[in-house]
Amino acid sequence: MKTLHIFNTLSRTVEEFRPLYPPNVSLYSCGPTVYLPQHLGNLRAYLCWDFLRRTLEFDGYRVRHVMNVTDVGHLTGDDDVGEDKIEKTAKAEGKSPLEIANRYLELFNRDCHRLNIEPPTVESRATGHIGEMIELIERIIASGYAYVTRSGVYFDIVQYRGPKSLGRLSRQTLDEQYSAQRLEHSPDKRNPHDFVLWVLNQPEHIMQWDSPWGRGYPGWHIECSAMSMKYLGETIDIHTGGIDHIPIHHENEIAQSESATHKQFVRYFVHNAFLVGKEGMKISKSAGKFPLLADLPAAGFHPLAFRLFCFGAKYRSEIVFSDEAMHAAQTTLDYFFEFARNLPADAPVEAGEWTRAYVDKFGEALNDDLNTPRALAVARDLVAESYRSKDFGAWPALRMLDAVLGLDLEERHKAARTSAMPADIQALIEERAAVRQARNFARADELRKEIESRGYDVKDNRDGSAAYQRRSS
């Protein structure tokens, strides 16, 4: 197994990654709050974690990846202020919170699919885990670090951490951590920095559940602790999120988890930097208009060009989104697509001996704190060398690299070879590939029958691909 070196926000250094139970890796990512479409800035984070997960798999690890979906309790301020984001949109659109969450989750999953982001092993919704959150809050109360008031159950951060100590992740005092936040706080809190675990007595709130403290709903932070513990255990290997999560959300996750379990919650905290607009403006929900993945095709970009654009930058570097940069990514994408499409029919099945150095260098770059731009340069060099030497033994090697690049080059290659199919059959084949990827096997079966009834044999391969051939009569 190769050794990944990764920047751990806990130690502020690049560390050798050693999972607790190799070859298994537990990975938790803070997922979307589903009340608006996720813009390209949000999607960058999920791409970064896809590069990380695929790198670990490239190295031979088995990754169990859990991602939460926030469909209740995330207020318009990350601190305990404002309205519930889902309910705010629901009221504005005249829909139920469930309809809003379902719609935006579906949009998010569709975008992830277009970006070739591997679905998490478990996608867990906050509203499906209220019982686990209540249990965890009871443990925190029992440990003496939470208190019940009329307006809610609060975590006593000052008692837990001491009034002057620095946060383990942010390395800031409580005052510094919250300096960017509006500190409007309930008079029930012992300290303004205490955060809510369970909200009580909010009759306006639509989503409410019974709890030992009365009807109410969970705070935002508690969901991540409860769900990561449920699916990954009390200590997890890697926890990811955007750098904006460091000062509040992740500090609070650590405090509430460790106060309940008395164990280390996360061994490696890995954070990605933002995607910014041209003027250095953060492309974020608060900045108003921001590009969506769905906006890219009209501008002449394939969704995977955005994937490649992100792959071309280090996850810890802020990247500037611009037309020029996207054009460059599209050109590189076309370069790989062309190569996969135009391979000679007799291209070798085995990787050429000479390609081994490229595969090694690619892996070394990724294992060097996820140096994706260097890895991308190696993949380009491999293709360039293949053209130069007219040795297509590069193709099997490039397919190996594509396990991390995620450009579906095999599909391009196959599509070029089956493009002789009539358009109606080709359309059915593509639809079937999409529903199989979405694990809608019932629909895939219907499509199989349809294709067969039109005189074609269908063979599903174990690697998830399928072959279609005109039946000789």
The site for Zn ion (CB under 5 A) is made up of 30, 224
Q: Which two tokens stand for residue 70?
A: 């926030």
Tell me whether residue 261 or residue 330 sits nearer to Zn ion (CB atom).
261
* CB of 52 closer than 8 Å to CB of 370: yes
Tell me whether residue 85 or residue 436 sits nearer to Zn ion (CB atom).
85
User: How many Cα atoms occupy the beta-carbon half-sphere of 43 within 13 Å?
Assistant: 31
Closest distance between Zn ion and the C-beta of residue 42, in Å?
14
Closest distance between Zn ion and the C-beta of residue 28, in Å?
8
Helices (H), 144-249: 157-161, 174-177, 220-232
Closest distance between Zn ion and the C-beta of residue 253, in Å?
6
Q: Is the dihedral of CA 449, 451, 454, 457 positive or negative?
A: negative
Angle (deg, nearest 10), helices 372-389 and 303-311: 110
Q: Is the dihedral of CA 306, 312, 316, 319 positive or negative?
A: negative
* CB of 179 closer than 8 Å to CB of 167: no
Tell me whether residue 115 or residue 224 sits nearer to Zn ion (CB atom).
224
Tell me whether residue 43 or residue 447 sits nearer to Zn ion (CB atom).
43
Tell me whether residue 199 or residue 224 sits nearer to Zn ion (CB atom).
224
Q: Residue 377 belongs to what H/E stretch? A: helix 372-389
Tell me whether residue 25 or residue 30 sits nearer to Zn ion (CB atom).
30
Closest distance between Zn ion and the C-beta of residue 45, in Å?
12
Helix, strand and coil percent figures for the chain, each rounded to 5: 50, 15, 35
Closest distance between Zn ion and the C-beta of residue 36, in Å?
18
Closest distance between Zn ion and the C-beta of residue 188, in Å?
25
355-374 burial by CB neighbour count: b if 16+ within 10 A, else e?
A: beebbebbbebbbebbbbee
β-bridge mates for residue 147, sequence order: 154
For residue 23, cis peptide bond before it (omega within 30 degrees of 0): yes
Closest distance between Zn ion and the C-beta of residue 129, in Å?
13
- Nearest Cα residue to 44 out of 317, 251, 279: 317
Closest distance between Zn ion and the C-beta of residue 229, in Å?
12
Tell me whether residue 8 or residue 252 sits nearer to Zn ion (CB atom).
252
- Nearest Cα residue to 189 out of 76, 83, 79, 75: 79
Tell me whether residue 147 or residue 198 sits nearer to Zn ion (CB atom).
198
Closest distance between Zn ion and the C-beta of residue 1, in Å?
28
Tell me whether residue 127 or residue 386 sits nearer to Zn ion (CB atom).
127
